Chain A
């Protein structure tokens, strides 16, 4: 196993721990690369295709390197009704990004998530895990500016 993936050894290599291992991989590397899949397959004793199958099944796992700031727009029912599609449209206009893409300069990346569980603050989005609620165009632009300036 490549040295950079040695951290996998912190969890037991029982094949049932594969998802936990992949979550660890993603939190350490930001995404799951071809090398990452190879390392997980080797460590958990499962075929690479099998690991790839698990990765592609779950929405949480990313195969593309995210930006410095990961924007997750909630498209749960409440947020959808309260304007999540508009937020996507505005973000697309401002950053030129579609869900699943990372900007060329690596600052922002965009994804859609099913529900952040903050329905009463709809519409919401989170940036690197911090939730911003009751969004309209103005507040969203302000939030983007603040992160871009950081």
Chain B
């Protein structure tokens, strides 16, 4: 086998959180080989990841690397201890187009990007007329990846139709869905690809200003983008003939509603991020009252790919309900959480079980589209994932967050969680959204506390329909989805909560007692020492009045003698 010529270590947010920085330091100490700090390849469960590049052009990956002497030497000697292979099922299903370079190149190295085909899309675009570029985008069938699914080419043509160059293109990088991290990963790992997409948009639509609105919770993404912007200025990639494009980045301050176009613009202008009535549409009057177009990070990430491949070739991937590939952030109850890219129309079965390695007997549902989406039960997992199929099930594609929910999770509590989020994030402008989501949340709190009644379920449905109809923006129009979808598919769980005061998942604290099975107990007293409230007596009886159901004792018990049981069961 040939020798190592270079090492690569994944240092995106996930790699850092898994301890990648310590591994990087240890590697630096142990070897004089060049070490590239790259982004994320999407296999978050295997972080920290180190790739050893060999002289013959091949490479060997190492996963879950620790910062100790043994692990480091194992890599440097090309040992076999922590070798990592992409699981075969995932390799077969995945199609890396947008993510092709993520984790393979140094995010902040312009030369590395251009050596791997970077900015060829822009070059191609500049050799065409703006109309021809927009035509390619239309041919590609690309639809907005931020959730709405509006045809991108059409959006571009609206802005291009406005006279002059005093126009703005905004990149919506305010990835607010809890449970989604596709955009973060793209910005951290391939910032130039996102910016290349934006520059192509500026050329095609005649915009002179590019603004990235990024959430402040993503410091590493902001850092990488800033470096990339400086490099673009230096290389004059932002100059098209006599036109020079201004690129800036603004940090959001944490408001979910700012994902909505008009709210985002209000926030950019230093106001409370509240949406306004449309028309006028942003393409008529947007940022600073000038024509403005907003696309999502992943949408821009697709643009260079389309220009390189050509619109028709791009459209050959995917299905009727959506062209190209889609990134999904897989998390929750599965073996391989991470970022995946698959052709549109791949089924949930393939994504959750084959790629995600989830346990078929354990999965109850998958939640797509975050707080605006719905739950899809496991029985319907042969559904192809595209914009239209998901909508028909009361869920949405959203930006691509996909949370796998196991059988030990309560669907009522899950719905309560989402409404807790949306009722707090409602900006307060529309009465139905402001008060309606609060009432829905209160009803759900009542149900998980065992104090609900059957009429509450009808009330939830009634409120949900009215909130959807009576809200101005996407937040209110979709906020009831998690409740309506769970009521549709899991009404029996709601009924158990209200009629029998039972939570089959043993999750709702008010309906559960923590009990100790004396036949399994070995009297080791670890639980007594662990319980922060001294709720366990010396003869091993748990006082339900003192116990807060914090699960500390469950974790401490070596014999698993302590369990959560339905209230009243002995």
Interface residues in chain A, defined as those with a beta carbon under 8 Å from any beta carbon in chain B: 15-20, 22-23, 44, 53-54, 57-61, 75-83, 86, 89-90, 93-94, 113-122, 124, 129, 131-133, 136-138
Contact = CB atoms under 8 A, between A and B. Distances in A.
Given A77-B367, A113-B217, A20 B17 contact: no
B254 interface: yes
A34 B221 CA distance: 32
Contact of B272 (A53, A113, A119): A53
A89 B548 contact: yes
B552 A18 contact: no
B511 to A, nearest CB: 15
A93 B256 contact: no
Contacts of A80: 178, 417
B496 interface: no
Contacts of B270: 15-20, 44, 54
Contact of B550 (A81, A89, A114, A122): A89
Given A53-B272, A58-B254, A75 B178 contact: yes
Interface in B232-253: 250-253
Contacts, number: 147
Contacts of A18: 270
A137 B552 contact: yes
Nearest to A44: B270
Nearest to B175: A117
5 contacts: A19-B251, A59-B254, A114-B254, A120-B45, A131-B17
Contact of B338 (A44, A75, A79, A120): A120
Interface in B246-289: 250-256, 267-273, 288
Contact of A90 (B47, B219, B550): B550
The contact size tier of chain B is: 35 or more
CB-based closest 9 A-B pairs: A76-B178, A120-B44, A77-B179, A120-B337, A58-B253, A59-B254, A119-B331, A78-B331, A18-B270
Nearest to B408: A81
Interface string B277-317: 00000000000100000000000000000000000000000
A117 B218 contact: yes
A60 B254 contact: yes
B139 interface: no
A57 B14 contact: no
Given A57-B272, A77-B401, A117-B217, A136 B555 contact: yes
Interface string B407-420: 00100001001100
B532 interface: yes
A44 B331 CA distance: 43
B322 interface: no
Given A58-B255, A116-B13, 7 more contacts: A22-B253, A60-B253, A77-B370, A81-B332, A90-B552, A117-B217, A137-B530
A115 B331 contact: no
B409 A81 contact: yes
B487 interface: no
A17 to B, nearest CB: 6
Contact of B329 (A116, A119, A132): A119
B253 A19 contact: yes
Contacts of B551: 83, 86, 137
B333 interface: yes
Most B CB contacts (10 A, CB to CB) among A76, A83, A86, A119 go to: A119
Contacts of A138: 555
Contacts of A54: 270-272
A133 to B, nearest CB: 5
Contact of A86 (B18, B333, B550): B550
